[in-house]
Structure 1
Amino acid sequence: MNYTNYHTLSPADVAQSLHSDLVQGLDQQKATELIQLHGQNILVSQTPITWPRILFRQVANPMVLVLLAASVLGFSIKDYGEGAVILVIIILNSAVGFFQEFKAEKTVESLKKLTSPTSKVLRDGKLSNIQTSDIVLGDILLFNAGDIIGADCRLFETMNFETDEALLTGETLPVSKFSHIIPDPECPIGDRFNLCYTSTIVTKGKAKGIVYATSMNTEVGKIASKLSNTKKTKKTTLSQSMDRLSYSLLALSVVFIIIVLAVNKFKINADIIIYAISLAITIIPEGLMIVLTLTMALGVRQLSKQKALVRQLNALETLGAVTDICSDKTGTITQSKMAVVQAWIPNDNIYDISGLGFEPIGKVHRHIESETTNEERSHNKSIEIKQNELSEPFKQLSIISALCNASEIKKDIETGEWSGVGDSTEIALQVFSTKVGFGKNTLLDDSNNNLPGWIILHEFAFDSSIKRMTVIAEKTGNSNTNNNKIAFLKGATEKVVESCTKILDGNSVKPITQQQLLQLVNSKVEFMANQGLRVVSLAFRELDNQDVNNNPNVFIREDIEKEMIYVGLVGICDPPRPESKASVEQCLGGGIKVHMLTGDHLFTASAIAKQVGIIPYTICEKTDSSVIQIDPLVVTADRFDKMSNEEIDCLPELPLVIARCTPDTKVKLIEALHRRKRIVAMTGDGVNDSPSLKSSDVGISMGMAGSDVAKQASSIILTDDNFATIVRAIAEGRRLFTNVEKFIRCLIGGNIAKLVCLTIGIIYKDASGHIVFPLSPVAILTNNLLTATPPAMSLATERAPDDNMKKPPRNPKQGLFNHEVILDIIFHGLVIGLLSFLSFWLVLMYFGDGNLGNNCNKEYTEQCETLYRARGTNFANFTTLLLIFPYSCRNQRRQTLSPEMIKDFCSNMFLFYSFIGGMAICIFALYVPGVNTGLFKHLSISWEWIIVAISGYPGGGRPQGGGGYQGGGGYQGGGGYQGGGYQGGGGGYQGGGGYQGGGYQQRPPPGQMNPQNQQLMMYFRSVDTDGSGALEADELQRALTNGDWSPFSLDTVRMMIGMFDRDNSGTIGFDEFVSLWKYIEDWKQIFWRFDADRSGSIANNELYNALQAFGFKITRQIVDAVVNKIKILEGAKRFRDIGGISFDRFIYSCVLIKNLDDTFKQKDQDRDGMIQLNLETFIILSLKN
């Protein structure tokens, strides 16, 4: 059956093709047969998530397989304790992971509330409510405002019918529907206005439709089925690192088995095989998988408390590497609560209306001073206007808002909460009018003695072609004359003005031309639009006999919507969430770019983006009724979609705001980010968002407003639909990865230490030729599980470092085991292993008689006393070192047993208790008779504790200048607009760093230099021929040229040096050279953005915009003066040849203005914006700058 062209058929033809009846509907028997034939009307996943699949995911990874092999080896040599313990760990690890993911899937099921549980259906000529899942082809459905459509239908009766299709098409405004034929078979889905679709919501009116598609054949179902064909998600960095670790450990096990056999000249006997296999098992960190899984589980639990449901454990780790967030606006960054926040009446002033949401509580404030700009408006004075003080025009504005309105608001009697039914814009108007005492319920109540009652006579529904709506109402309680009939009109300002010939001025009505009215209104419309407000104009007029053609029951729209009286306009906004701005700033500070993708208008989108800090206020302004788009960071989807991949890849930065966004636009942006090796988190709520959620590295769906398909396509669900929750999740992902790195260092380092100790032990054999264990198998197992694992597990609970969200994301190519981490693990493993064996050797050979006894691996005799005491010392020393080592792993920049470490000794109570518990186990194993000699094969110790104390101090230490990769670089940090620009995150002129904040002055830990700095050192030394460690202007000029920067003029180079030259030596050191290099990268990013034609130069106007983007509040006259100075330096002819300001002179301009600005601020001690200079001071300052 063809499911695509029902919009081209008449309702009767559709009913005939589906064997249904438009009047009677299906009969019940036929409906039952169709359910048995086609199945229920539900979305069926092609790959359902079942518990066996979840369980299989837990065990099908290399590390678990390596542990399983170790368990088998343990059983093969009759080491049942080791084998059983490893097996238990595998089971426990799998159980924890299974429980977390299974619980998450169950929660997802509980969040599936999109589809209406019941639908109104006509069967056998009778209207009844049935389960939406029981809808079949040919059913006749009836819809009212507020209903959720349960299947795809061809409409055949409509009355002012509109639906919200945002979840399917992304269209934010309701779509008007009709029933007549659309002949074009290629008509896009969004333009098939005689169809309605599953999961869309009725916002207005009534309708009837015949079902032509159910289940997976609906438009929603088609999208859901496509998702099952998407490619498999690649493994995360952590998963890849763990896989590599598993293979490496397996190979290392084989190597050490060969070493043991080689030392014994391949003379294989049972004793040698047991020792070799014991060494191989020692390499395997039994506790690693359980600690890793528990760390993930703790992160999931923490996020669930913060309104984020993690469906897949590894999504947390990917979150920590996110470099870009692509977020929807409505409901995520904003509150999804449209509200009237401003009103304006001609020849009056702006009114502010407080209060958000559906509850009609708020205050009205009237501005005293006239507004000029958005910034100046914040300083305007206002006074509160009480209800009894409202002017007649304001009251009229409120009455029109209430009556020319098809929405309703109501209060739940039980909960006391207010809710709205209808179009979101109309709900906002209804709430506004109710706040000031003129709500629809009040006006239609003729028992109210304070206000005249009203009745609605007729409604001309909103028509998208003329963008306005009209309602005709009549006052009750008066004589039934035509002048009691009043037409109320609302709509887009330009369309309302077309219908107006008069204006309400105070209590009088005055004539006005359309041109005069537009001039009066446009400035207010632009003022509100620049704040991101949706503007609605309102008008009215009294009707007479001529208007109704002498028939009070017949109204013609063209006759009614003319000669209207303009009353005023209101500004409606969906305000940002209070926490959104701080969250965006936190992202910028952490090197994460935020992209806002929305279906709203360009100015609405950019205004909200400015309010929350995604873009600066200088980008995308509206002046003289025209758009000035001064930056490619704000674009429309139409413009972005027309660009080829090559053109997009040439952009210095991808757009931060895309307006009128479509699902394909979102996927295109994600693909462009992936080509730049970025890690993308994508938010979405609609069915149409599902492809982009799948394409992203981390798909994040909305739990409250999201569709089932979107939730199924995502790996994380926000139960509060809040952008701030995404940022908290990213912070948790960063914390998790940092802690994983800590406990892996701890566990692997400890295992290498055991390996070193046991490998050296090969050299000792007793009188019968058996290898003597420096530690007994039980002691090794105790250290593995009871001494090493609990402290490592405690590291998983470490709180996030203070700079967790103040440093760039880590490089996604950089796994857990870079060269530094590997060297650090090997270093600590060698130190602890050698110190451990040294304590064994000292007691056995230096202070003891070297007697190894006979068969001491199995039983204690007097001959074994020295060996057993050496083992006891080794056990105590090894245990102590393993318990101190985690404290060293907590902070890679801190020396073990340093005052800072001792001060924080109890800050992690889990680690502290693990230390106390480990020492208690050590004491128990050493001093309990029978346990020490019988089970652990060692003796108690006394003076030997001195050896333990001495070796314990440096044992957990680290080489000076060591430290994790956390201190350096990161990924995509600094530079450019976001990482180090002029926003609050770091770098740039006015951020947390830059000239005054010291943004790039942060240096890596002592002894460590990142690769870029090593390259810069090479440039620096290549021109510092005298080895002075400082560069003069000509040397700096050559160094920058060597670094592939265009040659800079000496004037500009001297200006650069002046930024750092505190002692007036005219030189710059290496640290300042590194900082300067970063600044030049920032300058280049800004220059690129305004050099749109890539000519290598920018015009005066572009220079002005660029300097404004840096945060300089300067006039165009100042810019003209700077340009004139550049013309003098370059020469008029060369300036013309260049075509404007070159990159060299752009930097010169930036530094020049910054120096002047700093000088002025130093003199302006009282901060009043004015200074007084005598001639001498003025000349000195001028010459200096």
Structure 2
Amino acid sequence: MRGEEVLARAESRRSGLSGDEVRVRQARFGLNTLPSRKVSSWAALFARQFVNPLIALLLAATAVSAVLGETLDAIFILAVIFINAALGAIQEGKAERGAAALDRLVRQDAVAWRNGERRRVDATDLVPGDIVELESGVLVPADLRLLETSGISADESLLTGESLAVEKNGATILAEGASLGDRVNLAHAGSMILRGRGFGVVVATGRETEIGRIAASLTDIESAPPLVLRLRRFSATAGIVVVTAVLVFAAVQLWLGAPLAEIFFVSVALAVSAIPEGLPIAITVALAVAVRRMARRNVIVRALPAVEGLGARSLIASDKTGTLTLNRLTIATVWLPGQGRVDLTTTAAVRGDDLTPEALGELATVGALCNEASLGEGEAAVGDTVDLAFLAFAETLGRRREELVRSEPVASAIAYEPENRFGATFTYRGDRIRISVKGALETVLAMCEGGAAPAQDAAEQLAGEGHRVLAVAEGWAGTGAALDRSALRGLTLIGLVGLIDPLRPEARDAVRQAQDAGVRVCMVTGDHPKTAAAIAEQLGIPAGPEDVVSGQEIARLAADPAAFRALVARRRVFARVEPLQKLSIVEALREAGHFVAVTGDGVNDAPALAAAHIGVAMGRSGTDVARRAADLIVTDDNFASIVAGIEEGRIAYANIRKVIAFLISSSAAEIGIFFLCLLAGLPLPFVAVQLLWLNLVTDSVQHVALSMERGEPDLLSRGPRAPSEPLFDRRMIEQTGLAGLTMAGLGAGYFGWLLAQGRSIGEARNLLLLLMVCFQNVHVFNCRSERRSAFHQPLRSNLWIPAVVVLTQGIHIGAMHVPVLNEVLRIAPVAWSEWVQVAGISLLLIPTMEVYKSLKAGRLSSAPQ
């Protein structure tokens, strides 16, 4: 079917749909969104908590209790099961919904024609019949029937599995039933435009697109991030250790002649209480908290492991434009052959007295003709910032592109591509064709005759002042000439322009903060080496003009990988870098042992973004290709936001360690107190329901509060963690072991002392259970920092901690006074003096951990650097 027939069937036109037509079709077809993975219902999440061998054991214990006539015990165990399931479902549900909400924060734009005007719209608002423009670097937003194409090729590997680019041609008429890979006049949603330009009419959106049909079949597939998988394995290992210890304990009890029913109940309860089965969920909650915090600081997480991974980065290879600078280019200086330099204000008024604005007219005309942007009327400007700067400059001199094109219709164009480093437009002017070219000086000079030396000298001076320098050239050809690259010779250099993209106000401080955090900052840019050196100096990146590595230098070292790696390891600034060279730089940095984060926004950045440990794409100016290749998206294109992301990543990792330390030390204390009582010949310190109560009241709540920690003041200054550092390292083993043994030793000693004072077993267990609750209330303050004193962590930075401590203490004391519950738990109210006694013993845990932290800090400070 021909393009015009497709337009007619879609009830559309090349000037686009009207606003009323769009609204009617949105109501009919819905939003242009792909089916997403279903967020589990609360009922499903609740049911999922019962798929657990520990729950099966508890259910067995419930049945045994009922058979033995222990009805209250059976009811309590069943209540514990349901409460734990509810808490797990709530935590897991919040994490799942938080992750799903991220998709709504990442916006994909499309350039569409509406009411005869070219507009940038949210891709989710597209409807069948919309006219959409495509260019290199764009993710196709919907299934399009291409109407006009200019050198378009697309990556459709997502759909076809074929890695080769597909050349598209809107003039082709397909045979009926053509296979997906042969539909050369269609651009499918989800495919990447690798090069070229064109436009087409939307023929399918959302679920009706080819990728929508595929997505519909994938929405129920679940996956967990690697960190959570590692923690599941860790939990399984810890579970094996706990079960082994419990079996040994049970065997010894059986050998000593303890009642079988008592052994069974206590062993099951001890295993359930001590195994950190909730650890993966707790860590997912911690990561979800970090994701929300990052989103508030303009960093959107596409891959959950990138949350804590960003905090481990030791080097950032940053793009310059838009990330370190404002990406608001203005033509500030012009150099004309034989006439010299013209310095302009932001309104393009001439500062010098020797030249008039008319002398710049030809340069402005050529720059406006060789242009793909649109300033728009009443709408936001659309296009590349360089093109927009040329259009703004031309308009100040009274030359609007629309009027120029009406008088000189466009015959053909060579779109700007990063690897070509130039763009060209061919326009009819009478019986001749004007050739307008703009691009990098080296590329354009190769197309011109004469004038190379003065232009190069002028470019060196402009670049040395921090300008981005582009050359503008013009030529003429007969109407029968070939309108392709072969025509680009014998041109005349019209002049040079120096564009200024000011630094972001916060960029210098952000670079300093990153460097203070032990993160090396490199700048990788396509700009001139002198421009790069000037910007690096303003940013505080240590690199003089002689330290800048150029793309030509990289090319010369291509045959000597060792020399290239050595060069990359020494230098901080890389200029005139081509896409594959940026990829080589990233690979060399990885081989040097760095954990590398790379920023980028263009198609040319995608390989490096994918190769980096963490790819960071720009959300505002970035192409769809870059965003898809990245792990993180910075919504405000700001380097300072990346530094904020590093801080949040380190906070997330620190909070994960805090949660692990709290849960494991509590488990160690519970196991330890049973074995110490066994060795001392004491009775069982707890009955089964007391262990389950302890697990329910303290462990299930307080670790969530730890995941809310805001971070410590010196966190950034500690430097990135080593890539080989295990999660459960020597320091954590020491801390959890010391805390667990302290709680177990004090608890068993107190239990024995109470029995020696003539207290009954029931009274001793009642006070010991209160002591264990107090221990965990106290220990949560110790776990707020691995290094800093508990007294140096202000409560106002995490009010959840005192809140949950008061809550758990209040629940336990309240349970002592509730008639039925205290009977089930075998507990009773205690005197005020006894509570003070128990609280005093629990507070001994603080000086123990304070001494450890102090000694550890002393050893670290005295260690050789």
Matched, 1:393 2:283: no
Work out whether residues 568 and 585 of structure 2, in 8 Å CA contact, stay in contact via their aligned partners in 1: no
Structure 2 counterpart SS, 1:717: strand
Work out whether residues 67 and 90 of structure 1, in 8 Å CA contact, stay in contact via their aligned partners in 2: no
Aligned equivalents of 2:300 and 2:746: distance in 1? 46
The equivalent position to 1:592 in structure 2, one of 510, 513, 519, is 519
Larger Cα Rg: Structure 1 or Structure 2?
Answer: 1
Work out whether residues 788 and 883 of structure 1, in 8 Å CA contact, stay in contact via their aligned partners in 2: no
Residue 251 of structure 2 aligns with an amino acid whose one-letter code is: L
Matched, 1:804 2:727: no
The equivalent position to 2:640 in structure 1, one of 720, 724, 727, is 724
> Matches of residues 191-230 of structure 1 in structure 2 within 5 Å?
200=193
1:793: how far off? 2.2
Work out whether residues 332 and 723 of structure 1, in 8 Å CA contact, stay in contact via their aligned partners in 2: yes
1:825: how far off? 0.5
Residue 396 of structure 1 aligns with an amino acid whose one-letter code is: A
The equivalent position to 1:914 in structure 2, one of 804, 810, 833, is 804
Distance 1:203 1:253, change over 3 A: closer
Matched, 1:526 2:526: no
Note the residue ranges of structure 1 that are not aligned, 5 or more in a row: 1-19, 30-42, 121-130, 136-140, 169-176, 181-193, 356-361, 367-384, 446-453, 475-484, 501-513, 542-546, 622-628, 766-770, 853-866, 968-1003, 1014-1073, 1076-1185
Aligned equivalents of 1:694 and 1:398: distance in 2? 44
Matched, 1:438 2:429: no
Q: Which residue does 1:97 correspond to in 2? A: 95
Work out whether residues 368 and 394 of structure 2, in 8 Å CA contact, stay in contact via their aligned partners in 1: no
Residue 528 of structure 1 aligns with an amino acid whose one-letter code is: L
Work out whether residues 308 and 649 of structure 2, in 8 Å CA contact, stay in contact via their aligned partners in 1: yes
The equivalent position to 1:81 in structure 2, one of 69, 79, 82, is 79
Matched, 1:753 2:680: no
Q: Which residue does 2:120 correspond to in 1? A: none
TM-score (norm 1): 0.54
Residue 543 of structure 2 aligns with an amino acid whose one-letter code is: P
Aligned equivalents of 2:399 and 2:581: distance in 1? 41
Q: Which residue does 1:737 correspond to in 2? A: 653
Aligned equivalents of 2:701 and 2:200: distance in 1? 64
Distance 1:749 1:817, change over 3 A: same
Q: Which residue does 1:419 correspond to in 2? A: 381
Distance 1:65 1:650, change over 3 A: farther
Distance 1:72 1:300, change over 3 A: farther
Matched, 1:873 2:832: no
Distance 1:894 1:844, change over 3 A: farther
The equivalent position to 2:243 in structure 1, one of 250, 253, 261, is 253
Matched, 1:826 2:813: no
Distance 1:809 1:352, change over 3 A: farther
Structure 2 counterpart SS, 1:849: coil
> Matches of residues 647-666 of structure 1 in structure 2 within 5 Å?
653=569, 656-657=572-573, 664-665=580-581
> Matches of residues 1-400 of structure 1 in structure 2 within 5 Å?
50-51=37-38, 68=55, 71=58, 75=62, 78=74, 79-105=77-103, 111-114=107-110, 200=193, 236=226, 239-265=229-255, 267=257, 269-285=260-276, 288-344=279-335, 353=344, 362=347, 392-397=355-360, 400=363
> Matches of residues 816-895 of structure 1 in structure 2 within 5 Å?
816-845=727-756, 848-852=757-761, 867-868=762-763, 870-895=764-789
Work out whether residues 701 and 714 of structure 1, in 8 Å CA contact, stay in contact via their aligned partners in 2: yes
Distance 1:195 1:347, change over 3 A: farther
Aligned equivalents of 2:840 and 2:374: distance in 1? 77
Work out whether residues 463 and 528 of structure 2, in 8 Å CA contact, stay in contact via their aligned partners in 1: no
1:733: how far off? 1.0
1:148: how far off? 9.5
Aligned equivalents of 2:81 and 2:625: distance in 1? 45
Distance 1:548 1:664, change over 3 A: closer
Identity of aligned residues (%): 23
Structure 2 counterpart SS, 1:938: coil
Work out whether residues 795 and 802 of structure 2, in 8 Å CA contact, stay in contact via their aligned partners in 1: yes
Structure 2 counterpart SS, 1:340: strand
Distance 1:682 1:842, change over 3 A: same
Q: Which residue does 1:937 correspond to in 2? A: 827
Structure 2 counterpart SS, 1:570: strand
Q: Which residue does 2:175 correspond to in 1? A: none
1:596: how far off? 4.4
Q: Which residue does 2:176 correspond to in 1? A: none
Residue 593 of structure 1 aligns with an amino acid whose one-letter code is: R
Distance 1:237 1:497, change over 3 A: closer
The equivalent position to 2:857 in structure 1, one of 1005, 1019, 1040, is 1005
Work out whether residues 816 and 829 of structure 2, in 8 Å CA contact, stay in contact via their aligned partners in 1: yes
Work out whether residues 619 and 633 of structure 2, in 8 Å CA contact, stay in contact via their aligned partners in 1: yes
Structure 1 counterpart SS, 2:469: strand
Aligned equivalents of 1:63 and 1:670: distance in 2? 46
1:661: how far off? 5.2
1:828: how far off? 0.8
Aligned equivalents of 2:50 and 2:600: distance in 1? 34
Q: Which residue does 2:20 correspond to in 1? A: none
Work out whether residues 46 and 89 of structure 2, in 8 Å CA contact, stay in contact via their aligned partners in 1: no
Q: Which residue does 2:18 correspond to in 1? A: none
Residue 673 of structure 2 aligns with an amino acid whose one-letter code is: C
Distance 1:44 1:889, change over 3 A: closer
1:917: how far off? 2.5
TM-score (norm 2): 0.72
Structural RMSD (CA): 6.0
Distance 1:676 1:118, change over 3 A: farther
Distance 1:519 1:818, change over 3 A: closer
Matched, 1:697 2:608: no
1:570: how far off? 2.3
Aligned equivalents of 1:816 and 1:559: distance in 2? 62
Aligned equivalents of 1:279 and 1:462: distance in 2? 76
Aligned equivalents of 1:145 and 1:25: distance in 2? 21
1:271: how far off? 1.2
Work out whether residues 345 and 568 of structure 1, in 8 Å CA contact, stay in contact via their aligned partners in 2: yes
Structure 2 counterpart SS, 1:341: strand
Work out whether residues 132 and 201 of structure 2, in 8 Å CA contact, stay in contact via their aligned partners in 1: no
1:668: how far off? 4.6
Residue 724 of structure 1 aligns with an amino acid whose one-letter code is: A
Structure 2 counterpart SS, 1:957: helix
Work out whether residues 569 and 589 of structure 2, in 8 Å CA contact, stay in contact via their aligned partners in 1: no
Distance 1:319 1:22, change over 3 A: closer
Aligned equivalents of 1:608 and 1:63: distance in 2? 59
Distance 1:726 1:836, change over 3 A: same
1:255: how far off? 1.9
Aligned residues: 784
Aligned equivalents of 1:153 and 1:490: distance in 2? 31
Distance 1:164 1:118, change over 3 A: farther
Residue 38 of structure 2 aligns with an amino acid whose one-letter code is: W
Note the residue ranges of structure 2 that are not aligned, 5 or more in a row: 11-31, 65-73, 117-124, 158-167, 172-184
1:736: how far off? 0.8
Structure number with higher helix proportion: 2
Bigger RCO (CA 8 Å, 6+ sep):
2
Matched, 1:953 2:843: yes
1:907: how far off? 4.3
Distance 1:875 1:698, change over 3 A: same
Matched, 1:793 2:704: yes
Q: Which residue does 1:579 correspond to in 2? A: 506
Q: Deviations over 1:359-413 (max 9, x none)?
A: xxx576x8xxxxxxxxxxxxxxxxxx5xxx9764344325641575225654543
Work out whether residues 693 and 714 of structure 1, in 8 Å CA contact, stay in contact via their aligned partners in 2: yes
Aligned equivalents of 1:807 and 1:199: distance in 2? 41
Residue 873 of structure 1 aligns with an amino acid whose one-letter code is: L
